[in-house]
Structure 1
C-alpha cells in the first residue's frame, strides 16, 4: 500500500528523520521517502494507514486534511 501524506510542518532533514524513525517503529521494513521541499511523506508499508498517521502525529507533526 502506497500512502502519500502532506505534512506541512516538515521544515528540515531532522523532521524527516524523526518521522522516518516513528514510522519504522510501526513497521521496521517500511519504505519511506520524505520530500522536504514538497512537505510530503510517501510510505510503502503493510501497516494500516491509520497506524502510520498516528506515528507521524505522535512526533508532533500535523497531517494536512486530518
Structure 2
C-alpha cells in the first residue's frame, strides 16, 4: 500500500466502519467534497477501484503505526 497521509488513514478507518462520505465529513469537520478527494486518493494509492475493496484491503493489511 502506498503511503497514506494521516488524514487518509483517518478516512480509511471510517470506510472500514462502513461510514458514508457525509458521516465522515461531519465527524472530521470537513466538506463532503474533501472526503471524496481523500477517498479518491486512497483508491489510487491502494490500487483499488471501490471503497469496499479499499476497506477490505485495509482489514487484511492494516497500515503500520507511525
Q: TM-score, normalised by structure 1?
A: 0.34
Structure (1 or 2) with the greater helix fraction = 2
Choose 1 or 2 for highest CA Rg.
Answer: 2
